[in-house]
């Protein structure tokens, strides 16, 4: 007979979660719905901040490539401009981080964004050199949604985790 070890986490007078015999945290239906709703709200906020970051990124990228800068260098600079804006708004508004581990959090944030930036440069190379897309705007429009999803999950799972 298997009996579940129960470690209760209390929210008021209700049991919010318990550990089963495998050490897996299980939640009741009410908390699953709340977690799902909170996750959707975070994704919406993240995308709202992302729209601003993307506009900054697009504008800086277009300006730098117009001035003759190579696409990879322009991408690194424009992406860096978006990183600072993104950290400021996502840490305070999307993931509601007020204090604590700022330095460590920022280092993780930069690491996730460097991975995303590397992915964006690689995908831009695919657009230009393999798919032969000559438009900076179209290439950037293809790459941005992919990188945005990778960056959201990296931020949620590694940087601003609870």
pLDDT, one tens digit per residue, over 2-29 is 344 344 343 443 444 554 444 455 556 7
Alpha-carbon separation of residue 100 from 46, 97, 104, 106, 126 (angstroms):
21, 8, 9, 11, 40
Q: Are strands 9-11 and 25-27 parallel, antiparallel or unpaired?
A: unpaired
Cα separation, 142 vs 153, in Å, equals 19
Residue 76, helix vs strand vs coil: helix
Region of 135 please: left (phi>0), alpha (psi -120 to 50) or beta. beta
> H or E stretch including 140?
helix 136-154
* Tokens representing residue 139 in the block: 């290439």
Cα separation, 83 vs 32, in Å, equals 31
User: What pTM was computed for the model?
Assistant: 0.60
pLDDT in single tens digits along all 162 residues of the chain: 434 434 434 344 344 455 444 445 555 677 777 777 888 888 889 889 988 988 888 899 999 999 999 988 998 899 888 888 888 888 888 887 666 567 888 889 889 988 988 999 899 999 999 999 989 889 989 998 898 889 888 988 888 876
């Amino acid at each position: 007979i298997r009996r579940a070890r129960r470690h209760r986490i209390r929210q008021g007078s209700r049991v919010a979660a318990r550990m089963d015999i495998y050490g897996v945290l299980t939640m009741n239906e009410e908390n699953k719905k709340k977690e799902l709703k909170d996750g959707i709200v975070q994704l919406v906020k993240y995308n709202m901040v992302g729209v601003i970051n993307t506009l900054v990124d697009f504008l800086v990228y277009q300006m730098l490539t117009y001035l003759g800068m190579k696409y990879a260098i322009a991408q690194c600079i424009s992406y860096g401009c978006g990183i600072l804006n993104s950290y400021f708004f996502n840490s305070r508004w999307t993931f509601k981080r007020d204090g604590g581990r700022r330095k460590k959090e920022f280092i993780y944030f930069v690491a996730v964004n460097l991975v995303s930036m590397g992915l964006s440069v690689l995908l831009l190379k695919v657009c230009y050199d393999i798919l032969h897309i000559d438009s900076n705007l179209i290439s950037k429009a293809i790459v941005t949604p992919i990188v945005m999803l990778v960056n959201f999950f990296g931020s949620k799972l590694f940087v601003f985790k609870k």
